[in-house]
Amino acid sequence: MTIKRIKVGAGSCGIAAGASELLTFFQQEISDIPIVEVGCIGHCYAEPIVEIETDNGSLFYENVKPHKDYLDRILSLRDEGQLVIRPQRSDREMVKILSIAGRIEMNSINEYIANGGYEGLKKALKMKPSEVIEEVIISGLRGRGGGGFMTGTKWRFLSDKNSSEKVLICNADEGDPGAFMDRSLMESVPHQILEGMLIGAYATGATKLFIYCRAEYPLAIKNLKRAMEQIFELNLHNLNGRTVEIRLKEGAGAFVCGEETAMIHSLEGKRGTPRFRPPYPTDSGFQGLPTVINNVETFGNISLILREGGAEFAKVGTEGSKGTKLFALAGDVKYPGLAEVPMGVTLADIVYEVGGAEPGTVKAVQIGGPSGGCIPAEKFDAIVDYDSLKSLGAIMGSGGLIVIGNNRCMVETSRYFLEFTTRESCGKCTFCRIGTKRMLERLEKITGGEGTEADIDFLSDIGNKIVKGSLCGLGQTAPNPVLASLRYFRNEFEAHTNERQCPALQCNKLTDVIINEELCIECGLCVKTCPVNAISEDYIVNNSVCTRCNSCIEVCPKKAISRTKRGSGHYAVKEN
Amino acid sequence: MSITLYIDNKKITAENGDTILQAAQRNGIEIPTLCYSSLTTKNTSCFVCVVKDTKTGRFIPSCSMEVSDGMTLESDSPDVRDMRKTALELILSEHTGDCEAPCTIACPAHANVEEYVRAGKNGNHLEGLKIIKERIPLPMSIGRVCPRFCEKECRRNTVDGEPVAINDFKRLAADLYYDSYMEDCKALNGKKVAIVGSGPAGLSAAYFLRREGIASDLYDKMPEPGGMLRYGIPEYRLPKDILNKEIDHFKKMGSITFIQNTSIGKDVQIEDLKKKYDAVIITVGSWKSSEARIEGEELATGGIQFLENIALNGWTGDNPGRTIVIGGGNTAMDCLRTSIRLGSPEVTCFYRRTEAEMPAEKIEIHEAKEEGVRFEFLVAPVKLRRENGKLILTSQRMTLGEPDASGRRRPVPVPDSDFDTEADTVIAAIGQKTDAPLGISTNKWGDVDVQPSSCLMADGIYAAGDCVSGPATVVEAVAAARRAALSVIAQFQGTTYGEPYILNVTRGQWQSLKPDQLVYLKAPVERTRVPMRFIDIEERTTTFKEISYTFTEEEIATEGERCLECSCTAKSDCSLKKHSESYCAKPDAITGEKPEAAYDRRHPDIILDRGKCIKCGICVKVCKEVVNAGILGFKSRGFSTHIDTAFSSGLPVDLCRNCKKCIEECPVGALDLRIKN
């Protein structure tokens, strides 16, 4: 076998794991083989990943370090260090939208075209715009940003508008904690997104195209800008003689700007706050023009639909949810990363098969990010589609999927998400601005061991009212993590309030730290590590000094130190 | 094109393009809102205006949703009301300020203190009197004897340790204009009420009834009207010619008839009154001295009886000789100081706890000391006997133990500490009890039981004042009598009186506030309290002449400058207050962190108060869309969201044209003029 190219995964996940250093090292050490930067193949846990492209297929190496040893191993194509399960972690995955992500050079339009890119656009331009929309309707594609509205129908609304100017916006303001599907797509296959947008512009008659991308995604912005330049060079934005305008707008860091009316305000240069609908953006959007907003992943699917046909696309999935869905798999799993699965797989498939979590170690998943809710492990046989998840009190959302292990406290987890939405509320509506704050205060009271049954009732009462009394999706869904946790894990809340215990031993104020004498070898590491000198020379943790920072637990070579129920640890005798 | 929709099953017609709120308003259906302004584009922020779509079950902000044909909405259903109430309570949970000044809240009669102090400061004493008399029909008396609940809560205490001399504003206003001011009274409506007792409560009940056109007859056992004002409060504190002048006013009001020397149960029966009158109000006070429960008690004079006798004698009497007064309340002080004036060579107060626990007003204790009263603290009487024409009081020393139910430390006897004291007169002023007339039942404390909100005792019979509360103050009797009068009026109208819910958001008591948190509309003037002027101490101890002078108009004008004007500039037109009151939304229903009070006084005329701001967004839009200035904007996100100006540099005087549009549209007092009128 001869090596044709070396591809280094240099998406944000790769860079975070050391891909930049690796690239520099390779460039210094290798002169005769082309080295290219590619995006992410979804296996973020294995980054930095190096793909060796040979004349006889590719080999992947995981966790590659900038060392001579690794280089030798890779160049000699040895088995050691290879990414074994590939390109799928299990047969539950189905790679469609991600099929070339992380496999082609990020900044090469030629490579994109060579891999079937812009064929969808070419095909579309040969059809009537209405036929393109028909094709999207046939595909059954629903918005991947979380709302799940039929994309084709939305497009038809816009195309029906009699306006000389229309606006199409790509929502790339992916803000959910733990979600990175859109970032990965924009970094790895920026042209796939732009192709989808150009097809959308042709189908709907949109004249102005915006990509609203959060500023926290510098690599995505860089790659998209490069891709836009390439489009302009090749004049691909000329749609059968009609040139459309494409602009990229960087968000200023507000989560709420992912909401369509807030995003429009932000694009107009105003404060990013939502407004009451109707009028809907299709009637009056950006600068009063008819406007449609689709998510990155939605656009990512469009070129596939045009290429293979709507009917073919619709073969995958369930009755009401077609195609595949990207999930950002995170939390207590072995293989975190991006997972593309067909609609209709079960949560168990994603958590255990794809994520590699041990059954029995997981108590729930948080799906849909801060707008979604948790689903307990007992319900993991639920299938993943828009309607089934909703019936369980969660939402598909944009695709954040956080696996919650048995050692996590559900009260603390829901507090974490609510803290996020409380901070990110735009401050407009009473219920959202003040209500979330009041909920957060009660949750802090509960995790701090000061809560009462009345606080739990308050959470459920105010939570439901915030859902009913908020203007936009942020407020309407902000209480969901708490409400869903209350629905499935009320016992954990009650343990905090009634027994002053955190069953998962996560809430600091409700736990103590102890050293197991039988396991302790008196090595002294914990004593040395403790930042507050809470561990005595005779290896006893003084819990009235201990800050529950976990440093000793992490440093102990014998796993002799652990958390325990409050009150069962040692406390210094009070001085008289 | 007109549209038909249904709100609370009422069919209404609206124009195409109307919002639900507009359609409702035009059809006389009131929907509360805070963030709607007819001048600006929609804000959709407060969510107080929600209505429920009956078909979908969804709550819709009525200010923003346009009507459509066949819409069916609920605006008055329990869950809509609950949502609105919660929205209001959430807003209140972060609303920081003072609706009313703490003095007004502290006044048992809820007289509008800040307003009459301002009137006094500006020299408008007649206006001041008018404000006072809306709640206090006895300003001449109360202006002299009130223990000044208002002053204890006065925020001025934080600035220089001394409250504004509030009560003196009443006294001057009343002294100046009592004769010339006559309130509007409705024409008599034919109803007549019997009032038993013509003390502060009886007089006040008659007053509030008369203002509403109801006549009354006041039955009183004593020769002259006034009750405790005449027979309990010494002349030197409340001269009786002043009291006579005050009572004359009631006679001038007409159809208030005083029937003296008539005891209920003896001369007239309650049952007869019930038959003869449309209602009866019992205000007989607490005229019986409590027993000291010591051996030889009968040798002592009851405090209230002592005062009554002197009063009946025209505030003259025999020298009581060496006098011991047992007790530490206001009546004890009155007895002590009266004894001094009668020529007693030695007047001593025996009190079983220390000065700190004494229930008497501090000023009374201070003045008693000035006049030569001696105090023996931690002393309790054990036995009283007569030997050789002298009284011998055996007492024991006490020490303070654990706090009792009242929170005061319980006096505990010191063993073997008995000692004797010789005296000519011993007065037991240890408390008073209600002496209920025949036919009026009492509770285990000997007081008359009533429903607190209505003062209703039994069918058609009401009661108020000391006989209900036990011995208390004049102003408390006035407040209770007003409730009783309003209940009687309500009964005549076929309704029942309930204390209306008045929202009061407060920043708390002055003790918990720092001086800079008080500076509100203006920096406080540096001026100490105008001291009260007293007559010569020689005259004080030898005559019953009134001990202090009424403040002059100049003194009141000077003292008025010290008022910090704590109440909200918008209290009369605050939409949050109005809606909270109609939805019974409570400021402390939902608790949590409040934004730091940070009012901006940098503009010479306008105050921007972040603590009061409800983030409705109207001012931002008015400034931008109507005035075209765009000075105001929102900053931050989440709970920290607030209104601010560019670079937080305050309202720019050059750009802000002082058009006051934002002030006019602000639903609360977050933006307002820095002056109150």
pLDDT tens digits, B554-611:
999 999 999 999 999 999 999 999 999 999 999 999 999 998 767 888 898 999 999 9
- State pLDDT tens for residues A152-203: 999 999 999 999 999 999 999 999 988 999 999 999 999 999 999 999 999 9
- For residue A89, pLDDT over 70 is answered with no
- For residue A300, pLDDT over 60 is answered with yes
Out of A255-269, A309-323, A432-446, B396-410, which region has the weakest mean confidence (pLDDT)? B396-410
Q: Residue A576: what pLDDT?
A: 43
> What confidence tier does A403 reach under pLDDT thresholds 50, 70, 90?
very high
How close does chain B come to A419, measured CA to CA in Å?
10
- State pLDDT tens for residues B137-175: 999 999 999 999 999 999 999 999 999 999 999 999 999
Q: Is residue A453 classed exposed, middle or buried when 0-12, 13-18 and 19+ CB atoms within 10 A define those classes?
A: exposed
Q: Residue A86: what pLDDT?
A: 46
- For residue A205, pLDDT over 50 is answered with yes
A-chain CB neighbours of B91 within 8 Å are 430, 434
> What confidence tier does A85 reach under pLDDT thresholds 50, 70, 90?
low
Strands B72-74, B2-7: pairing is: parallel
How many Cβ contacts (< 8 angstroms) between chains A and B? 94
| % of chain A at pLDDT higher than 90 | 89
A-chain CB neighbours of B637 within 8 Å are 254, 256, 423-427
Q: Is residue B215 classed as helix, strand or coil in its secondary structure?
A: strand
Distance, in Å, from the CA atom of A296 to the CA atom of A213, rounded to the nearest integer, reads: 10
Distance, in Å, from the CA atom of A168 to the CA atom of A322, rounded to the nearest integer, reads: 23
Q: Identify the residue whose tokens are 């189905």.
A: A94
How distant, in Å, are the alpha carbons of A427, B35, B44, B524, B616 from that of A433? Answer: 5, 15, 13, 35, 12
To the nearest whole number, what is the mean pLDDT of chain A?
94
Distance, in Å, from the CA atom of A443 to the CA atom of A493, rounded to the nearest integer, reads: 9
- For residue A534, pLDDT over 70 is answered with yes
B-chain CB neighbours of A441 within 8 Å are 592-593
Predicted TM-score (pTM) of this structure: 0.92
- State pLDDT tens for residues A419-440: 999 999 999 999 999 999 999 9
Q: Residue B409: what pLDDT?
A: 85
Among B637, B640, B641, B668, pick the best mutation site for testing chain A contact (most A Cβ within 10 A).
Answer: B637
| % of chain B at pLDDT higher than 70 | 100
The predicted model gives A561-569 an average pLDDT of 94
The residues near B64 (Cβ < 8 Å, ≥ 6 apart) are A276, B19, B42, B44
| Out of A276, A425, A434, closest to residue B61 by CB | A276
The predicted model gives B304-326 an average pLDDT of 96
The predicted model gives B65-91 an average pLDDT of 97
- For residue B389, pLDDT over 80 is answered with yes
Q: Identify the residue whose tokens are 């001057």.
A: B172
B-chain CB neighbours of A462 within 8 Å are 86, 590
Closest-CA residue to B428 (of B320, B310, B235, B298): B298
Q: Residue B72: what pLDDT?
A: 97
How close does chain B come to A44, measured CA to CA in Å?
33
A-chain CB neighbours of B592 within 8 Å are 437-438, 441
- For residue B125, pLDDT over 90 is answered with yes
Distance, in Å, from the CA atom of A438 to the CA atom of B592, rounded to the nearest integer, reads: 6
- A528 CB within 8 Å of a chain B CB: no
Q: What is the ipTM of this complex?
A: 0.94
- For residue B446, pLDDT over 90 is answered with no
Residue A413 — φ and ψ, nearest 5°? -60, -45
- A269 CB within 8 Å of a chain B CB: no
- Across the interface, whether the CB atoms of A425 and B593 are under 8 A apart is answered no
> What confidence tier does A84 reach under pLDDT thresholds 50, 70, 90?
low
